[in-house]
């Protein structure tokens, strides 16, 4: 049921990803102007991700009717398939952000979605099905939901579950999102719909990220006052200055509890680029032209935390093992599950982008 109040009015707040998770949702890829070779390589990779997560927690996958049998054959029997209409398969951005209250009740938040920029710089023209996914997921789960009156994507926000929200100015203040809202007005709306007390603003996201700098490709909040940051020591890399700006922003702000934020640097995997074969396998469209030699928005921060497990993208890079070691040392109570996900990266994101956790 769609509610007419707000989460803050009702005592609901946005819990951290490292809190207990009950379920994880994905959406099955098939869009041919984003996924190469009729999306077959992406489907195999999505299936690997879904099946790995299903070993830890129940998984549901939204799928179109035309792809149902294909998905069923590739996914473990424990994975639940739900027929649903959507335009592309970024469940983090189109699915509901689920908020909780002190009693453990859960409700969804459906953000306005406009394909990462609408008419200004959106990646495709028709996003009407995507905009309905959050409500549809809530209906399937039997959750009441709020419809937020502004544009936001789940990949644009991270939280510590204790009142702090992390985001980037590049994304939330971009002219394609909410041009009529000031920074202060956006903060007020984030407070109203996520129950947060403080926004930690970072200047920009990852270099070449076509989402206008989603925070989940730059950092990951792994504990209260503890953040993983994508990093490079190559002064010729355009990410070099961006990561240092982010570090400065993290070090000069405290979280909602007044804590100094601990930063764990994880190297970038690369830089990595589209090969000719990869770029030529994608059907051309106005919004998502893939070019051989174009830089990929590759990041190890784009992982998913689920009940003592970190599902980490591996990208065939010399830095895969280094990232694994750093995260294992930083999160000794977690099992690091590495999955080769270059095919997801080719579509513009990674494991965090294609998943949406439902808190317990």
Active site residues: 353
Q: Round to whole Å and give the CA distance between 330 and 256.
A: 22
Number of Cβ within a 10 Å radius of residue 214? 32
Go through the chain and tell me how many residues it has.
360
- Lookup: tokens for 3: 């509610």
3-state secondary structure of 357: strand
Q: Round to whole Å and give the CA distance between 343 and 293.
A: 16
- Lookup: tokens for 117: 């920029």
Question: In Å, how far are 3, 47, 154, 303, 332 from 109, measured between CA atoms?
Answer: 10, 27, 10, 22, 32
Q: Round to whole Å and give the CA distance between 136 and 132.
A: 6
Tokens 């599950």 -> residue: 337
Find out whether 305 and 226 touch, Cβ atoms under 8 Å. no
Burial class (CB in 10 A: 0-12, 13-18, 19+), 70: middle
Find out whether 271 and 298 touch, Cβ atoms under 8 Å. yes
In degrees to the nearest 10, what's the CA dihedral of 218, 219, 220, 226? 170
3-state secondary structure of 171: helix
Residues linked to residue 167 through DSSP beta bridges, in sequence order? 201
């Amino acid at each position: 049921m769609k509610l007419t109040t707000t989460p803050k009015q009702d005592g609901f707040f946005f819990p951290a990803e490292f809190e207990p998770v009950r379920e994880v949702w994905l959406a099955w890829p098939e869009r041919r102007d984003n996924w190469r070779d009729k999306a077959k390589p992406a489907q195999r990779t999505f299936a690997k991700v879904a099946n790995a997560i299903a070993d830890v927690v129940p998984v549901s996958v939204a799928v179109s009717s035309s792809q149902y049998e294909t998905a069923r054959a590739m996914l473990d029997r424990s994975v639940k398939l739900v027929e649903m209409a959507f335009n592309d398969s970024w469940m983090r951005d189109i699915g509901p952000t689920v908020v909780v209250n002190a009693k453990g009740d859960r409700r969804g938040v459906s953000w306005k979605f406009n394909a990462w920029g609408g008419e200004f710089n959106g990646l495709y023209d028709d996003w009407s099905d995507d905009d309905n996914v959050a409500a549809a997921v809530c209906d399937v789960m039997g959750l009441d939901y709020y419809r937020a009156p502004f544009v936001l994507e789940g990949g644009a926000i991270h939280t510590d579950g204790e009142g702090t929200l992390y985001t980037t100015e590049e994304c939330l203040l971009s002219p394609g999102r909410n041009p009529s809202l000031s920074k202060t007005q956006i903060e007020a709306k984030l407070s109203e719909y996520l129950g947060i007390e403080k926004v930690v603003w970072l200047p920009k996201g990852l270099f070449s990220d076509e989402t206008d700098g989603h925070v989940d490709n730059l950092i990951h909040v792994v504990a209260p006052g503890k953040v993983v940051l994508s990093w490079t020591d190559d002064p010729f890399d355009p990410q070099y200055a961006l990561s240092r700006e982010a570090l400065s922003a993290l070090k000069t702000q405290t979280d909602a509890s007044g804590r100094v934020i601990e930063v764990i640097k994880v190297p970038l995997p690369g830089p990595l680029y589209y090969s000719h074969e990869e770029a030529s396998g994608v059907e051309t469209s106005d919004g998502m032209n893939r070019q051989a030699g174009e830089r990929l928005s590759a990041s190890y921060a784009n992982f998913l935390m689920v009940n003592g497990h970190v599902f980490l993208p591996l990208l065939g890079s010399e830095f895969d093992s280094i990232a694994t070691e750093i995260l294992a040392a930083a999160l000794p109570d977690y099992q690091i599950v590495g999955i080769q996900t270059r095919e997801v990266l080719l579509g513009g994101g990674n494991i965090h982008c294609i998943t949406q956790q439902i808190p317990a």
